[in-house]
Amino acid sequence: MPELPEMETYRRNLLRYCQGQVIDRTEIGREKSINVPPGVFQQELKGATITSVDRVGKHLVIHLSTGAHLMGHLMLGGAIFYGTEAETPTRTFQVIMRFGNGKALYWYGLRLGWLHLVTTAELTARSAELGLDPLDEAFTAPYLGELLHGRRGALKPLLVDQQLFPGIGNCYADEICWAAQVHPLRVAGSLSTYEQARLWSAMKAVLTEATHLGGYTETPFHRGDTFTGGYLPRLEVYDRKGEPCHRCGSRIAFEHATGRKLFYCPACQPEAAGTAGAGATYPALQPEDLVQQPTGTDGV
């Protein structure tokens, strides 16, 4: 599933290849993928120039010269390809945006995904529903501490909550927990200030590096694309069940818990007293839990 680094990779590719291009013609292969009648969608896009591209969590926002915006979400298996008709992957396309240079943007795999035409007011309202982007400068360690404070549930399902951590999904949540050496089923509110700081810096480091390397999904944006998917060989735990941990050599564990797949290193990320098990109850967070703990003495 595309997550923050994959969508940031799309944003950069769209800026590089499509900014300034004029949309000649739009074809709709699946009406459910868009939010207005096909004729309206086609008419609104016809002759519009792509002026800029933004990302809000896992959402892409394509700004048009008409003042309208396209907001898209690829959900589970969606992807975008840019190129000529002859270069396209053998797929059924839900939306095709054709440019004057003979190339087009092909949106496919939008079984659950969508591409909506929105006004600035609608874009603002929808963006406001999402939390602060984890790569935003305002997403500080104390801010993360506030998000975790008093949470009785496990860390993993919290990390993939798009209202709290927009852009983080199953893969990067596991990678972040491994980098922070925190068990993914720890009670989120039980992390010490020191562990919160480790989680925060792991979040920034993993998402930044994955973005710089083109994310982990191997769906090329254009023919000959060698950038997209460059982070795949760097994954430490995700989809590495039974393979050795690169930090300690232990076998990577895999399990289903809290409705999620979990990949983690049982040695580097040991279950602590605060790990959330089925039906477990935990004492309320005490003020001393939030006191800064010295390095190496937090019992992890």
Tell the smallest beta-carbon distance from residue 207 to Zn ion (Å).
21
Residue indicated by tokens 């959900």: 75
Tell the smallest beta-carbon distance from residue 265 to Zn ion (Å).
3
Where residue 183 falls (left for φ over 0; alpha for ψ -120 to 50; beta otherwise) is beta
Stretch of residues binding Zn ion (CB under 5 A), selected from 40-48, 69-77, 209-217, 244-252 = 244-252
Is 248 a binder of Zn ion (CB under 5 A)? yes
Is 241 a binder of Zn ion (CB under 5 A)? no
Stretch of residues binding Zn ion (CB under 5 A), selected from 130-138, 214-222, 248-256, 277-285 = 248-256
Is 267 a binder of Zn ion (CB under 5 A)? yes
Is 245 a binder of Zn ion (CB under 5 A)? yes
Where residue 150 falls (left for φ over 0; alpha for ψ -120 to 50; beta otherwise) is left
CA 13 to chain centre: 16
Among 268, 276, 285, 300, binds Zn ion (CB under 5 A): 268
Stretch of residues binding Zn ion (CB under 5 A), selected from 8-16, 190-198, 203-211, 246-254 = 246-254
- Which of residues 94 and 275 has its CB atom nearest to Zn ion in the complex? 275
- Which of residues 48 and 265 has its CB atom nearest to Zn ion in the complex? 265
Q: Is 7 helix (H, G, I), strand (E, B) or coil?
A: helix
Is 182 a binder of Zn ion (CB under 5 A)? no
Is 265 a binder of Zn ion (CB under 5 A)? yes
> Which residues are known to be catalytic?
2-3, 58, 260
- Which of residues 115 and 245 has its CB atom nearest to Zn ion in the complex? 245
Size of the site for Zn ion (CB under 5 A): 7
- The string of DSSP codes covering 16-27 is HHHTT-BEEEEE
Among 25, 126, 151, 247, binds Zn ion (CB under 5 A): 247
Tell the smallest beta-carbon distance from residue 187 to Zn ion (Å).
21
Question: Could you give the maximum distance between any two Cα atoms of the chain, in Å?
Answer: 64
Tell the smallest beta-carbon distance from residue 296 to Zn ion (Å).
17
- Which of residues 25 and 251 has its CB atom nearest to Zn ion in the complex? 251
Contacts 24+ apart (CB under 8 A), 61-70: 61/123, 62/14, 62/18, 64/23, 67/119, 67/120, 68/44, 68/117, 68/118, 68/119, 69/117, 69/118, 69/119, 69/120, 69/123, 70/45, 70/115, 70/116, 70/117, 70/118
- Which of residues 125 and 248 has its CB atom nearest to Zn ion in the complex? 248
CA angle 6, 82, 220 (to 5 degrees): 45
Enter the DSSP assignment of 180.
Answer: H
Q: What is the binding site for Zn ion (CB under 5 A)?
A: 245, 247-248, 250, 265, 267-268
